[in-house]
Amino acid sequence: MDRTTRIATPTGGLGIPLLAVLLALPTAAQAATLEEIRERGHIRVAVADEEPYGYLDEDGEGRGAGPEVARHLLEQLGIERIEWQVVDFDDLIPGLEEDEFDMAAAEMAIRPDRCARVLFSEPNTSYGEGLLVRAANPHEINAYDAFAERDDIRVAVLSGATQVDILTALGVPESRLVAIDSNAQAIDTILDGEAEAYAGTGLTVSQLAERDRQVEVAQNFVDPEVDGEMVRSWGGFAFPLDAESLRDAFNEALLDYRNTQAWEDTLSGYGFTQDDILNAFRFDTDWLCSEQ
Protein backbone atom coordinates (compact mmCIF):
# COMPACT_ATOMS: atom_id res chain seq x y z
CA MET A 1 0.00 0.00 0.00
CA ASP A 2 1.33 3.47 -0.86
CA ARG A 3 2.33 5.53 2.17
CA THR A 4 -0.02 8.38 1.19
CA THR A 5 -3.06 6.07 1.33
CA ARG A 6 -2.19 4.25 4.55
CA ILE A 7 -5.09 4.22 7.00
CA ALA A 8 -3.27 3.30 10.21
CA THR A 9 0.13 4.20 11.56
CA PRO A 10 2.27 1.55 13.27
CA THR A 11 0.96 2.79 16.61
CA GLY A 12 -2.66 2.47 15.53
CA GLY A 13 -3.38 6.18 15.13
CA LEU A 14 -4.92 7.88 12.11
CA GLY A 15 -2.45 8.36 9.25
CA ILE A 16 -1.47 11.99 8.76
CA PRO A 17 -2.18 12.12 4.99
CA LEU A 18 -5.74 10.82 5.46
CA LEU A 19 -6.35 13.16 8.37
CA ALA A 20 -5.31 16.09 6.23
CA VAL A 21 -7.71 14.98 3.52
CA LEU A 22 -10.59 14.62 5.98
CA LEU A 23 -9.96 18.06 7.42
CA ALA A 24 -9.98 19.54 3.95
CA LEU A 25 -13.33 18.03 2.98
CA PRO A 26 -16.15 20.63 2.72
CA THR A 27 -18.86 20.41 5.35
CA ALA A 28 -22.54 20.68 4.52
CA ALA A 29 -23.99 24.15 4.99
CA GLN A 30 -26.04 24.38 8.14
CA ALA A 31 -28.85 26.90 8.56
CA ALA A 32 -28.64 29.36 11.42
CA THR A 33 -31.12 28.87 14.24
CA LEU A 34 -33.50 31.60 15.33
CA GLU A 35 -31.36 32.27 18.40
CA GLU A 36 -28.18 32.51 16.32
CA ILE A 37 -29.84 35.02 13.99
CA ARG A 38 -31.01 37.07 16.95
CA GLU A 39 -27.50 37.07 18.39
CA ARG A 40 -25.84 38.25 15.20
CA GLY A 41 -28.50 40.96 14.86
CA HIS A 42 -29.46 40.51 11.21
CA ILE A 43 -31.07 38.08 8.79
CA ARG A 44 -30.33 37.57 5.09
CA VAL A 45 -33.51 37.64 2.99
CA ALA A 46 -33.65 37.02 -0.76
CA VAL A 47 -36.15 38.29 -3.32
CA ALA A 48 -36.38 37.68 -7.08
CA ASP A 49 -36.98 41.31 -8.15
CA GLU A 50 -40.58 40.52 -9.09
CA GLU A 51 -43.31 43.10 -8.55
CA PRO A 52 -45.57 42.99 -6.60
CA TYR A 53 -44.25 39.91 -4.78
CA GLY A 54 -40.72 40.82 -3.71
CA TYR A 55 -38.27 43.43 -5.03
CA LEU A 56 -35.93 46.18 -3.85
CA ASP A 57 -36.56 49.90 -4.11
CA GLU A 58 -33.98 52.52 -5.09
CA ASP A 59 -32.60 52.50 -1.55
CA GLY A 60 -32.11 48.75 -1.53
CA GLU A 61 -35.04 48.14 0.81
CA GLY A 62 -37.36 45.18 0.33
CA ARG A 63 -40.80 46.00 -1.05
CA GLY A 64 -43.75 43.92 -2.17
CA ALA A 65 -46.20 41.59 -0.46
CA GLY A 66 -43.47 39.25 0.77
CA PRO A 67 -40.93 41.74 2.13
CA GLU A 68 -43.54 43.98 3.78
CA VAL A 69 -45.07 41.09 5.70
CA ALA A 70 -41.66 39.59 6.47
CA ARG A 71 -40.37 42.90 7.86
CA HIS A 72 -43.27 43.12 10.31
CA LEU A 73 -42.98 39.50 11.46
CA LEU A 74 -39.19 39.53 11.83
CA GLU A 75 -39.44 42.61 14.04
CA GLN A 76 -41.84 40.67 16.24
CA LEU A 77 -39.28 37.86 16.46
CA GLY A 78 -36.64 40.25 17.74
CA ILE A 79 -34.55 40.38 14.56
CA GLU A 80 -33.32 43.94 14.27
CA ARG A 81 -31.91 44.21 10.75
CA ILE A 82 -32.56 42.67 7.32
CA GLU A 83 -29.87 42.28 4.67
CA TRP A 84 -31.77 42.12 1.38
CA GLN A 85 -30.45 40.17 -1.61
CA VAL A 86 -31.70 39.95 -5.19
CA VAL A 87 -31.21 36.68 -7.09
CA ASP A 88 -32.72 35.10 -10.17
CA PHE A 89 -35.91 33.21 -9.34
CA ASP A 90 -34.29 29.93 -10.33
CA ASP A 91 -31.53 30.54 -7.75
CA LEU A 92 -33.82 30.97 -4.72
CA ILE A 93 -33.94 27.31 -3.70
CA PRO A 94 -30.26 26.56 -4.47
CA GLY A 95 -29.31 29.67 -2.48
CA LEU A 96 -31.23 28.41 0.54
CA GLU A 97 -29.64 25.00 0.20
CA GLU A 98 -26.16 26.51 0.03
CA ASP A 99 -26.68 28.91 2.98
CA GLU A 100 -26.35 32.03 0.82
CA PHE A 101 -29.31 33.54 2.68
CA ASP A 102 -31.61 32.57 5.56
CA MET A 103 -35.02 32.88 3.94
CA ALA A 104 -36.75 33.88 0.70
CA ALA A 105 -39.57 36.43 0.64
CA ALA A 106 -40.49 36.04 -3.03
CA GLU A 107 -43.99 34.57 -2.61
CA MET A 108 -42.74 31.39 -4.25
CA ALA A 109 -45.59 29.00 -5.09
CA ILE A 110 -45.78 26.13 -2.60
CA ARG A 111 -45.45 22.88 -4.57
CA PRO A 112 -44.56 19.29 -3.62
CA ASP A 113 -41.32 19.23 -5.62
CA ARG A 114 -40.15 22.41 -3.88
CA CYS A 115 -41.28 21.15 -0.47
CA ALA A 116 -38.76 18.32 -0.85
CA ARG A 117 -35.94 20.89 -0.95
CA VAL A 118 -37.02 23.75 1.37
CA LEU A 119 -39.37 24.45 4.27
CA PHE A 120 -42.36 26.65 3.50
CA SER A 121 -44.37 28.87 5.78
CA GLU A 122 -48.16 28.78 5.65
CA PRO A 123 -49.50 30.62 2.57
CA ASN A 124 -49.20 34.39 2.59
CA THR A 125 -50.80 35.02 -0.81
CA SER A 126 -52.84 33.42 -3.56
CA TYR A 127 -52.77 34.45 -7.21
CA GLY A 128 -53.95 33.42 -10.68
CA GLU A 129 -52.40 33.50 -14.15
CA GLY A 130 -52.11 36.00 -17.01
CA LEU A 131 -50.43 36.78 -20.35
CA LEU A 132 -48.40 39.78 -21.49
CA VAL A 133 -48.61 40.45 -25.24
CA ARG A 134 -47.64 43.13 -27.74
CA ALA A 135 -50.04 46.11 -27.74
CA ALA A 136 -53.29 45.39 -29.63
CA ASN A 137 -52.49 41.67 -29.33
CA PRO A 138 -51.77 41.13 -33.05
CA HIS A 139 -51.62 37.33 -32.65
CA GLU A 140 -54.93 37.27 -30.73
CA ILE A 141 -53.58 35.17 -27.86
CA ASN A 142 -55.72 34.92 -24.74
CA ALA A 143 -55.03 31.46 -23.29
CA TYR A 144 -52.10 29.22 -22.40
CA ASP A 145 -53.65 26.45 -24.50
CA ALA A 146 -52.97 28.48 -27.65
CA PHE A 147 -49.28 27.62 -27.46
CA ALA A 148 -50.12 23.91 -27.63
CA GLU A 149 -52.55 24.35 -30.51
CA ARG A 150 -50.60 26.78 -32.72
CA ASP A 151 -47.08 26.41 -34.06
CA ASP A 152 -46.68 30.07 -35.06
CA ILE A 153 -46.40 31.49 -31.55
CA ARG A 154 -43.92 31.09 -28.66
CA VAL A 155 -44.26 32.03 -25.02
CA ALA A 156 -41.58 33.37 -22.68
CA VAL A 157 -41.43 31.89 -19.17
CA LEU A 158 -39.33 32.61 -16.11
CA SER A 159 -36.83 29.80 -15.56
CA GLY A 160 -37.94 27.59 -12.69
CA ALA A 161 -41.36 29.25 -12.36
CA THR A 162 -44.68 27.44 -11.99
CA GLN A 163 -45.75 28.51 -15.48
CA VAL A 164 -43.22 26.10 -17.02
CA ASP A 165 -45.05 23.15 -15.45
CA ILE A 166 -48.49 24.53 -16.29
CA LEU A 167 -47.66 25.00 -19.96
CA THR A 168 -45.98 21.59 -20.16
CA ALA A 169 -49.04 19.96 -18.58
CA LEU A 170 -51.18 21.63 -21.25
CA GLY A 171 -49.10 20.01 -23.95
CA VAL A 172 -46.98 22.99 -25.00
CA PRO A 173 -43.78 21.60 -26.57
CA GLU A 174 -40.41 22.74 -25.28
CA SER A 175 -39.63 24.29 -28.67
CA ARG A 176 -42.32 26.93 -28.03
CA LEU A 177 -41.03 27.89 -24.58
CA VAL A 178 -38.48 30.72 -24.34
CA ALA A 179 -36.73 30.74 -20.95
CA ILE A 180 -35.75 34.08 -19.38
CA ASP A 181 -33.91 34.76 -16.12
CA SER A 182 -35.99 37.66 -14.79
CA ASN A 183 -39.37 39.27 -15.32
CA ALA A 184 -37.60 42.46 -16.38
CA GLN A 185 -36.57 40.67 -19.59
CA ALA A 186 -40.17 39.87 -20.58
CA ILE A 187 -40.94 43.14 -22.38
CA ASP A 188 -37.80 43.11 -24.53
CA THR A 189 -38.30 39.42 -25.29
CA ILE A 190 -41.70 40.24 -26.80
CA LEU A 191 -40.66 43.47 -28.55
CA ASP A 192 -37.54 41.85 -30.02
CA GLY A 193 -39.67 39.09 -31.51
CA GLU A 194 -38.12 36.26 -29.51
CA ALA A 195 -41.58 35.32 -28.18
CA GLU A 196 -45.13 36.48 -28.87
CA ALA A 197 -46.21 36.51 -25.22
CA TYR A 198 -45.03 36.13 -21.66
CA ALA A 199 -46.80 33.80 -19.22
CA GLY A 200 -46.82 34.91 -15.60
CA THR A 201 -49.12 35.52 -12.70
CA GLY A 202 -51.88 38.03 -13.32
CA LEU A 203 -50.31 40.52 -10.93
CA THR A 204 -46.86 40.26 -12.50
CA VAL A 205 -48.27 40.74 -16.00
CA SER A 206 -50.26 43.81 -14.89
CA GLN A 207 -47.17 45.37 -13.33
CA LEU A 208 -45.13 44.78 -16.50
CA ALA A 209 -47.82 46.27 -18.72
CA GLU A 210 -47.61 49.54 -16.78
CA ARG A 211 -43.92 49.93 -17.69
CA ASP A 212 -44.25 50.14 -21.49
CA ARG A 213 -47.14 51.13 -23.74
CA GLN A 214 -45.92 48.74 -26.42
CA VAL A 215 -47.19 45.78 -24.39
CA GLU A 216 -50.47 45.03 -22.66
CA VAL A 217 -52.32 42.42 -20.61
CA ALA A 218 -54.16 39.93 -22.83
CA GLN A 219 -57.85 40.74 -22.52
CA ASN A 220 -60.54 38.08 -22.00
CA PHE A 221 -57.86 35.77 -20.62
CA VAL A 222 -59.05 32.19 -20.16
CA ASP A 223 -57.83 30.71 -16.87
CA PRO A 224 -55.86 27.52 -17.54
CA GLU A 225 -57.20 24.21 -16.31
CA VAL A 226 -55.07 21.15 -15.65
CA ASP A 227 -56.82 17.84 -15.01
CA GLY A 228 -60.12 19.68 -14.75
CA GLU A 229 -58.91 22.06 -12.04
CA MET A 230 -58.43 25.81 -12.47
CA VAL A 231 -54.79 26.74 -11.92
CA ARG A 232 -54.08 28.95 -8.93
CA SER A 233 -50.93 29.33 -6.83
CA TRP A 234 -50.34 29.82 -3.13
CA GLY A 235 -47.22 31.76 -2.24
CA GLY A 236 -45.23 31.47 0.94
CA PHE A 237 -41.89 32.21 2.60
CA ALA A 238 -39.15 29.63 2.11
CA PHE A 239 -36.42 28.47 4.53
CA PRO A 240 -33.64 25.85 4.48
CA LEU A 241 -34.75 22.32 5.37
CA ASP A 242 -32.90 22.43 8.71
CA ALA A 243 -34.26 25.85 9.76
CA GLU A 244 -37.25 24.48 11.68
CA SER A 245 -36.91 26.83 14.66
CA LEU A 246 -36.93 29.91 12.45
CA ARG A 247 -39.72 28.65 10.19
CA ASP A 248 -41.92 27.55 13.11
CA ALA A 249 -41.58 30.86 14.96
CA PHE A 250 -42.19 32.79 11.75
CA ASN A 251 -45.24 30.63 11.02
CA GLU A 252 -46.76 31.27 14.41
CA ALA A 253 -46.45 35.02 13.92
CA LEU A 254 -47.77 34.81 10.35
CA LEU A 255 -50.89 32.87 11.32
CA ASP A 256 -51.75 35.56 13.87
CA TYR A 257 -50.97 38.40 11.46
CA ARG A 258 -53.20 36.96 8.71
CA ASN A 259 -56.17 37.68 10.96
CA THR A 260 -55.50 41.42 11.04
CA GLN A 261 -56.66 44.29 8.85
CA ALA A 262 -53.03 45.40 8.53
CA TRP A 263 -52.13 42.18 6.68
CA GLU A 264 -55.10 42.54 4.34
CA ASP A 265 -54.28 46.20 3.70
CA THR A 266 -50.68 45.27 2.83
CA LEU A 267 -51.80 42.76 0.21
CA SER A 268 -54.52 44.94 -1.28
CA GLY A 269 -52.03 47.81 -1.44
CA TYR A 270 -49.94 45.70 -3.82
CA GLY A 271 -52.87 44.87 -6.08
CA PHE A 272 -54.18 41.63 -4.61
CA THR A 273 -57.94 41.37 -5.00
CA GLN A 274 -60.38 40.41 -2.28
CA ASP A 275 -60.71 37.03 -4.00
CA ASP A 276 -56.92 36.58 -3.88
CA ILE A 277 -56.87 37.44 -0.18
CA LEU A 278 -59.71 35.07 0.73
CA ASN A 279 -58.13 32.26 -1.29
CA ALA A 280 -54.95 32.54 0.79
CA PHE A 281 -56.88 30.74 3.57
CA ARG A 282 -58.16 27.94 1.33
CA PHE A 283 -55.34 25.43 1.84
CA ASP A 284 -52.58 24.90 4.38
CA THR A 285 -48.98 24.09 3.54
CA ASP A 286 -49.26 20.42 4.50
CA TRP A 287 -51.95 19.98 1.85
CA LEU A 288 -50.11 22.02 -0.76
CA CYS A 289 -46.93 20.01 -0.17
CA SER A 290 -48.73 16.69 -0.52
CA GLU A 291 -49.20 14.88 -3.80
CA GLN A 292 -52.91 15.59 -4.27
Output helix, strand, coil percentages for the chain, rounded to the nearest 5: 40, 25, 40
pLDDT at 50 over 80: yes
Q: How confident is the model at residue 31 (pLDDT cuts 50, 70, 90)?
A: confident
Summary mean pLDDT of the chain = 90
3-state secondary structure of 105: strand
Q: What pLDDT band is residue 126 in, cutting at 50, 70 and 90? A: very high
Q: Where among 172, 202, 223 does a domain terminate? A: 223
> Would you say residue 26 has pLDDT above 70?
no
Q: What is the pLDDT of residue 7?
A: 30
Predicted confidence (pLDDT) per residue in 226-277, tens digit: 999 889 999 999 999 999 999 999 999 999 999 999 999 999 999 999 989 9
152, 274: one domain: no
149 inside domain: yes
| Torsion of the alpha carbons at 58, 59, 65 and 66, rounded to the nearest 10 | 120
Task: Indicate if 118 and 165 belong to the same structural domain.
Answer: no
Q: Are residues 196 and 248 in the same domain?
A: no
Helix (H) or strand (E) holding 3: none
What is the tens place of the pLDDT at every residue in 72-95? 999 999 998 999 999 999 999 999
Tally of domains within the chain? 2
What confidence score (pLDDT) does residue 20 get?
47
pLDDT tens-digit series, residues 165-180: 999 999 999 999 999 9
- Tell me, yes or no, whether 252 and 121 share the same domain: yes
Prediction pTM value: 0.82
Domain extent, residue 274, equals 34-126+234-286
Considering the domain architecture, whether residues 78 and 120 belong to the same structural domain is answered as yes
Within 92-199, residue ranges assigned H as helices are 92-97, 112-115, 146-149, 162-169, 186-191
> In the predicted model, what is the mean pLDDT of residues 10-30?
47
103, 154: one domain: no
Residue 28 confidence (pLDDT) above 60: no
What is the domain-level CATH number for residue 260?
3.40.190.10
**How far apart are the C-alpha atoms of 9 and 116, rounded to whole Å?**
43
pLDDT in tens, 130-140: 999 999 999 99
Q: How far apart are CA 125 and CA 122, in angstroms?
A: 9
